[in-house]
């Protein structure tokens, strides 16, 4: 029994993995109610993740993330945005090892509790 080192190979990460990491990290941040579909017209057809409220762009070996979110009505918009940015960047860097160029948070709406009809 030799002590051969395992052969080095290549690891590839599907874009859907990064979309999932970004979406779940954002949803886990305090004050985020849900994601919102990425706005746009014809250009958004055939692109992945746009209905999940996440758009990812790859630049060299780094990634830029745009998140489209609906936040809870009783939350500070700036605080939620900063928390989402930190959580998403940390998750991508730790789980995938990619550099994060930017995490842009777009607040698309505020979620208010539904009122019962009187």
What mean pLDDT, rounded, does the chain reach? 87
Question: How far does CA 17 lie from the centroid of its chain?
Answer: 10
Please state the pTM of the whole predicted model.
Answer: 0.81
**pLDDT score for 118:** 60
Task: Tell me yes or no: is domain 15-108 CATH 3.30.70.1350.
Answer: yes
In tens, the pLDDT along 70-96 reads: 999 999 999 999 999 999 999 999 999
* Class of residue 106 by CB neighbours under 10 A (exposed 0-12, middle 13-18, buried 19+): middle
Q: Where are the domains of the chain?
A: 15-108
Give 106's strand partners: 68
99 near 61, Cβ under 8 Å?
A: yes
In this prediction, what percent of the chain has a pLDDT beyond 90? 66
Confidence band of 44 (pLDDT split at 50, 70, 90): very low
């Amino acid at each position: 029994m030799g002590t051969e080192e395992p052969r080095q190979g290549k690891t590839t990460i599907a874009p859907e993995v990064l979309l999932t990491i970004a979406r779940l990290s954002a949803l886990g941040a305090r004050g985020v109610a849900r994601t919102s579909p990425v706005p746009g017209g014809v250009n958004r057809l055939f692109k992945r993740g746009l209905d999940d409220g996440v758009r990812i762009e790859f630049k060299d070996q780094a990634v830029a993330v745009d998140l489209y979110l609906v936040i809870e009505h009783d939350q500070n918009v700036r605080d939620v945005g900063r928390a989402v940015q930190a959580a998403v960047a940390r998750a991508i860097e730790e789980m995938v090892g990619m550099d994060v160029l930017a995490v842009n948070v777009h607040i698309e709406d505020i979620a208010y509790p539904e009122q019962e009809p009187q």
